[in-house]
Amino acid sequence: MSATTGEIKRVTTHVIQAMKNRGEKIAMLTAYDFSMARILDEAGIDILLVGDSASNVMAGHETTLPITLDQMIYHAQSVVRAVHRAMVVVDMPFGSYQSNSEIALKSAIRIMKESGAHAVKLEGGSEVEESIRRILMAGIPVMGHLGLTPQSIYKFGTYTVRAKQDAEAQKLLEDARLLDDIGCFALVLEKIPAQLAKTVSESIEIPTIGIGAGQHTDGQVLVTHDMLGITKEFRPRFLRRYLELFDAIGEATKHYIADVKSRDFPNESEQY
């Protein structure tokens, strides 16, 4: 149960908006499997994102591009089975919405129907407006994603901070207003200057959820495997690590191996 929203039975888009309206920060983390989702939900997380970062942290790909719609639905189904309170948002993977709005709608419907999730997220602004409008018309809540959009990594060329120049910052602000106007329920802002994230958050009605976007967004999101220290080398400035699980799990594993080799495990009380 969360410290501040213990009485909420199920986090919905209305709950998320009410949190922004009363100035309560929104906490979001990624989840891709049943066991982790259960822990995060019981701890009181507001939103669980079945991120396409599963492509990196679960499957070991270099980018988010290879993960498929079927694979995202599999991850989402596992997360939904674990969750009692959090809102579950599923990333639409690369290729499932960019070609045209009909394909986008079909992909979003598959995610909602086959996984039981509560909303979808997709990357981009005016370029994907038609797709977002069509998904919204079908009654599916949409979370936007602007700034560093990892599905466009080969266009950007690097994972550095976006929208530092005026023209890109202006386009981002216009896209944020557009996504707000057409009915998205929230907006992820990834790796942009804190001052720009503040301006965006104050300029639109819907909540902003930042990652590497500073302290003024209405909520924060991290990749769970990064914040728990399961991923090892990834240490950008914005990442706060709450555990060093790579090392802790490694130590436990060495201990287990030693116990097996030395015949210490299993002992008499650990057998039938």
Catalog residues that contact ligand KIV under the rule CB under 6 A: 30, 49, 51-53, 91, 188, 190, 211, 221, 223
For residue 131, the tally of other CB atoms under 10 A from its CB is 25
The nearest distance, CB 27 to ligand KIV, in angstroms, is 13
Residue positions counted in the chain: 272
Measured from the CB atom, the residue of 237 and 263 that comes closer to ligand KIV is 237
Residues acting as catalytic residues: 190
Cα–Cα distance for residue pair 196/257, rounded to 1 Å: 51
Q: What is the largest CA-CA distance in the chain?
A: 70
Whether 150 contacts 92, CB under 8 Å: no
Cα–Cα distance for residue pair 111/77, rounded to 1 Å: 9
Measured from the CB atom, the residue of 30 and 78 that comes closer to ligand KIV is 30
The nearest distance, CB 59 to ligand KIV, in angstroms, is 12
Whether 142 contacts 178, CB under 8 Å: no
The nearest distance, CB 255 to ligand KIV, in angstroms, is 32
The nearest distance, CB 56 to ligand KIV, in angstroms, is 8
Measured from the CB atom, the residue of 49 and 120 that comes closer to ligand KIV is 49
Q: Which residue is nearest to ligand KIV (CB)?
A: 51
Residue closest to 111 by CA, chosen among 140, 132, 136? 140
Cα-based distances in Å from 137 to 140, 142, 144, 154, 184: 7, 11, 15, 31, 11
The nearest distance, CB 169 to ligand KIV, in angstroms, is 20
Whether 122 contacts 132, CB under 8 Å: yes
The nearest distance, CB 223 to ligand KIV, in angstroms, is 5
Residue closest to 141 by CA, chosen among 13, 9, 10, 8? 13
Structural tokens at position 82: 């674990």
> Residue 67 corresponds to which amino acid?
I
Interior/surface letters 165-183, b for 16+ CB within 10 angstroms, e for the rest: eeeebeebbebbebbbeee
